[in-house]
Amino acid sequence: MITITTTDALDAFCARAAAHPYVTVDTEFLRERTYYSKLCLVQLAFPGGGVDDAVLVDPLVDGLSLDPLYALFRNTDVVKVFHAARQDLEIFYIEGGVIPAPLFDTQVAAMVCGFGEQVGYETLVRRIAKKPLDKTSRFTDWSRRPLTEAQKTYALADVTHLRVIYEHLAAELKKSGRTKWVEEELQVLSDPATYVVQPEEAWKRIKTRTNSGRFLAVVRELARFREGYAQSRNVPRNRVFKDDALLELASTKPATREDLGRSRLLLREARRGEIADGILSSVKAGLKVPNDALPKGNGKPATLQVNPALADMLRVLLKAKAENAGVAQKLIATTADLDAIAAGSRDGMALKGWRRDVFGEDALRLCSGQVGLAVRGDKVDVFEL
């Protein structure tokens, strides 16, 4: 197997790859001790059976530039194929400011093709490529050099089998007329905003049990400080302080370092120095937010009046529609989506695009009493009222 360690060698491989309709891509990285992922290895392959059609690229080698790869990512004549692409795409966007296009994610495509929810790569290799996959090297330290032969073999398999999987799924999508469905799903992955966490928006990711505006104002300021601190120092946000400690601080509202010392959940390192000062300043800022500027319920409706009987019927309808279409239920709608529809919301993703065709139209007709559900054996039918 070939490991690329120079920019010239990478440029030569990418030039050959550009002559093919697609290239498969994967990465190995570490993120346990940093805010941003540390890219340790890139795997690439294009169609063919030669030993030089699939390579490993070592980005940790001094002097190697990934610019030829980024140029290939911008080449719209070549489809870039990933499996569960989100973390890989985040790395390339943060490192190189580029999101590969056009993009194909085999995990998304497999969900559309009826392989279940968030199907793993190993499952697709077994079911489509009909090959075993050795995952023993999955959790090794990819930053250590030299890489073992077992690591290299494992890493390369992540792009060689992916060629077979991609060709199979692409053919299935073309046959079923669902290629546009996958393209709709990939719009989020292709949006740069997906990979940038703005500190002022970080509070929306924290699960709270209250809609108190004052409490949420303190949560917002604490989350803003933590995210900015973690980003600027490239440390995991939980190393600053964890969510449960953040919620405790928002509840107790400490005003002094002595108050911080009474916290049950705050790490010792966070009770002194810059972090302690940041916490106290954030709590103070949250308490000073004017009443008319207080955040509201983490962006979620504070008074969601769900009709439980209707929600249950929507679940039955979803199950039937998903089975008929051969699509994973959660790809069409989540439990929260169904509850929102049962509460009268008409803005959710389940009511847009291909989801509306598969499920949304009948869901709305069910809500308005235009149709009902009937069980016939092990099937659920929709009938007109």
Quick one: pLDDT band at residue 138, thresholds 50, 70, 90? confident
- 122 is annotated as an active-site residue: no
Domains, the chain, ordered by start: 2-195 (3.30.420.10), 199-299 (1.10.150.80), 308-384 (no CATH)
Whole-number pLDDT of residue 27: 98
- 154 is annotated as an active-site residue: yes
What is the widest separation between alpha-carbon atoms in the chain? 70
Structure tokens at 122: 């190993």
- 362 is annotated as an active-site residue: no
Whole-number pLDDT of residue 304: 63
Q: What's the average model confidence in pLDDT over 100-117?
A: 95
Q: What are phi and psi of 319, to 5 degrees?
A: -60, -45
- 26 is annotated as an active-site residue: yes
Q: Is-contact 102 79, C-beta < 8 A? A: yes
CB atoms within 10 A of CB 205: 12
Active-site pick, 22, 26, 35, 339 = 26
b/e burial code for range 348-367 (CB count within 10 A of at least 16 → b): bbbbebbbeebbbebbebbb
Active-site pick, 158, 185, 221, 227 = 158
For 112-140, the DSSP string reads HTTS-TT--HHHHIIIII------TTTTS
Residues 8-43: tens digit of each pLDDT: 999 999 999 999 999 999 999 999 999 999 999 999
Name 371's bridge partners.
384
Does residue 366 come out as left (phi exceeding 0), alpha (psi in the -120 to 50 range) or beta? alpha
Active-site pick, 154, 166, 172, 339 = 154
Beta strands in 163-222 (DSSP E): none
The residue ranking higher by pLDDT, 170 or 52, is 170
- 53 is annotated as an active-site residue: no
Residue 297: pLDDT over 90: no
* 376-to-54, 313, 380, 381, 383 alpha-carbon distances in Å: 51, 16, 6, 7, 12
Active-site pick, 22, 35, 53, 88 = 88
Structure tokens at 343: 């509460």
Share of the chain above pLDDT 70, in %: 98
Q: What is the mean pLDDT of the chain?
A: 94
